[in-house]
Amino acid sequence: LPLCILFNIAGDFGSYLERLVGSDIPFAIISALPPALWIAKKITIPQRKRSKGSSSSKTREASLPNFNIGDKLEEKERKPKVNREKKLEVDSIITPNTSFKMPPFSLLNEPPKKQKNEDIGHNAELLEATLDSFGVSAKVVNAVVGPTVTRYELSLATGVKVSSITKLSNDIALALAAPQIRIESPIPGKSLLGIEVPNKKITLVTIREVIESEEFINNKSRLTLGIGKDIAGNIIADSLEEMPHLLIGGTTGSGKSVCLNSLIVSLLYKSDPSILRITMIDPKRVELTQYEDLPHLWAPIITEPELSVKLLRRLTREMDNRYEIFRKEGVRNIQSYNQKHKDSPLHYIVVIVDELADLMMVAPKEIEKLICRLAQMARATGIHLIIATQRPSVDVITGLIKANFPSRIAFAVSSQADSRVILDIGGAEKLLGKGDMLYSPIWAMKPVRVQGAYVSDEEIERVLKFWKEQGSPNYVVTQEELEEEDEIAFGSSGDGDDEFLEEAKRILKQRGTISTSLLQRVLRIGYGRAARIIDLLEAEGYVERGEDGRVRVVRRD
């Protein structure tokens, strides 16, 4: 008998189903997409030989016309998966601590109405025609509309190489009148090639959409971060505990600062000060200062590079102290400890650094050492890092730092080299800016394209006002305590100079010359410590200073 199989490709499904229901032709439905994207195709199965007494073996064929997806591709936004974006009937996140009230969702702006893109079918036809003009046989079988881009999914004919399409990226962008396109091959979980084309009208993804979603509310972690939406419209909300640290890179205007603010607001909607403490380092002095007097703060917001180093050193001591507590209690991590001590749990600490490049210019070796030590060991103690930079170069994001930050976000960058510094692969140089990102968590094989959640300054002010009305910060570490700490990293005497002194002697022996700037460059230390080492070399008779202040080598052995 003829068998009609209904494939999930765009087309007029209802009329064909009506014909089949009224006939005696068996049919099956292969469905991986919504009914709006189905097409009917007919397959005739060879007839078996029948006995003489059997009925007539004539094959009846249903008149089901076939058509091209390029002709009938309708503009339909892919619906999220079941329970993906459903809003729960709650006003705010429930917290077990009754002394604090959690902020209501009403403090955030309502999301705008979704806009339709009228160019889907036209672009699909244009895409096929462009590839055909270059001798590439491919067919658009699906289109997924996202907030920022639309992904056209292509099925390649047998024998067509992927490289034959990737090398045509500029020609495809020209044909579609797009500023630039991004080719994903293959699409994860599919034997298809994806071409991502920017939408003419970008749909804003608001922080309220993300925070009200089931993905965010039902996530049991108190460190859930609302990232945004992927190109299929699915909410991306993941736990910082699982990451366990996050590195963010992107040029000015790419959406990096807005992303930081949305992550902070996500944390404020998920945890109260009894559960979470936040410490912020803001060398720019303007990005994070609005969070002053927030009850969640573990320490005052630090803007001076010297105090930043001291704060990181205090955090490493806090980590060591917590490990000592865990050893005495016989537990392995903060979750086990808090389960054992429900009346006096340890709070989580999230460290947010807005501009790593400024810190690396002042004391690169000390900063790298402290950040790497925290990233390697602090996860079990409940200390997590979120570090951002607008200068993703190898002297800022060093190999050691990158190796200890397996979860990363790349916003638009100026070159493929910068993209590789952040993600180890290219692609970020083709992003559109304004929150368009490549999100690469530790558990993902390939980066996911996401439109970041947007939070306005007015929304931040309303959320901060809500928390500040419930109390003032109870600092664990004050700025006065930080200022009184030894300035080992910036030139004072201490055991740390001995290590660099021996290295300076080796440099002097090899090169036959020495200077403060040379020590800064080779040893990657600050000016204060380099000058201190020169003083120690002078005290031991290796160098002497002339009347003009220049350093002259006396002996090299």
Chain region(s) in the chain for CATH 3.30.980.40: 120-198
Protein fold of 120-198: Threonyl-tRNA Synthetase; Chain A, domain 2 (3.30.980)
Look up the pTM and report it. 0.71
CATH architecture of 488-553: Orthogonal Bundle (1.10)
Helix axes 305-329, 364-377, angle to 10 degrees: 30
Which tokens go with 492? 């004072």
First to last CA, the chain: 96
Cis peptide before 406 (omega within 30 of 0): no
CB-based contact 512:551 (threshold 8 Å):
no
- If one counts every other C-beta atom within 10 angstroms of the C-beta of residue 128, the result is 20
Residue 84: is its pLDDT beyond 70? no
Q: Helices then strands (H, E): number in the chain? A: 19, 18
Percentage of the chain surpassing pLDDT 70?
A: 78
Query: Rounded to whole angstroms, how far apart are CA atoms 290 and 284?
Result: 13
Query: Rounded to whole angstroms, how far apart are CA atoms 362 and 520?
Result: 10
CA 501 to chain centre: 41
pLDDT class for 92, splitting at 50, 70, 90? low
Chain region(s) in the chain for CATH 3.40.50.300: 105-112+204-484
Q: What is the pLDDT of residues 19-77, one digit of tens each?
A: 555 555 554 554 444 444 444 444 443 444 444 444 333 333 333 334 344 444 444 44
pLDDT class for 284, splitting at 50, 70, 90? confident
CB-based contact 64:6 (threshold 8 Å):
no
Q: What is the pLDDT of residues 307-347, one digit of tens each?
A: 999 999 999 999 999 999 999 999 999 999 999 988 889 99
**Tokens 């800022």 — which residue?**
396
Residue 511: is its pLDDT beyond 90? no
Longest Cα–Cα distance in the chain? 121
SS3 for 186?
coil
| HSE value, Cβ hemisphere, 13 Å, CA-based, for 2 | 16
- pLDDT of 548 reads 62
- pLDDT of 498 reads 56
The one-character DSSP state at 81 is P
Query: Rounded to whole angstroms, how far apart are CA atoms 283 and 247?
Result: 17
SS3 for 154?
strand
Higher pLDDT, 210 or 516: 210
Which tokens go with 261? 């603010």
Superfamily of domain 105-112+204-484: P-loop containing nucleotide triphosphate hydrolases (3.40.50.300)
Altogether, the residues listed in the chain come to a count of 557
Question: Which of 290, 265, 267 is CA-nearest to residue 277?
Answer: 267
Mean of pLDDT values over 396-414: 93
pLDDT class for 93, splitting at 50, 70, 90? low
H helix or E strand, kind and range, residue 460: helix 457-468
Beta strand 182-184 pairing with 193-198: antiparallel
CB-based contact 117:201 (threshold 8 Å):
yes
The percent helix, strand, coil of the chain (3-state, each to 5) is: 35, 20, 45
CB-based contact 309:489 (threshold 8 Å):
yes
- pLDDT of 547 reads 62
Chain region(s) in the chain for CATH 1.10.10.10: 488-553
Q: CA angle, 408 as apex, 363 and 103 as ends, to 5°? A: 95
Q: What is the pLDDT of residues 349-365, one digit of tens each?
A: 999 999 999 898 888 88
CB-based contact 138:165 (threshold 8 Å):
yes
Which tokens go with 422? 């952040």
CB-based contact 458:281 (threshold 8 Å):
no
CB-based contact 388:414 (threshold 8 Å):
no
- pLDDT of 118 reads 63
Query: Rounded to whole angstroms, how far apart are CA atoms 146 and 406?
Result: 26
Query: Rounded to whole angstroms, how far apart are CA atoms 415 and 337?
Result: 46
Higher pLDDT, 76 or 374: 374
- pLDDT of 73 reads 45
Q: What is the pLDDT of residues 96-148, one digit of tens each?
A: 555 889 999 999 999 887 766 667 888 899 999 999 998 888 999 999 988 98
CB-based contact 468:292 (threshold 8 Å):
no
Which tokens go with 534? 């020169």
- pLDDT of 257 reads 92
pLDDT class for 11, splitting at 50, 70, 90? very low
Question: Which of 70, 149, 141 is CA-nearest to residue 117?
Answer: 149
Average pLDDT, the chain: 81
Helix axes 457-468, 256-270, angle to 10 degrees: 30
Residue 202: is its pLDDT beyond 70? yes
- pLDDT of 55 reads 38
Which tokens go with 322? 């917590």
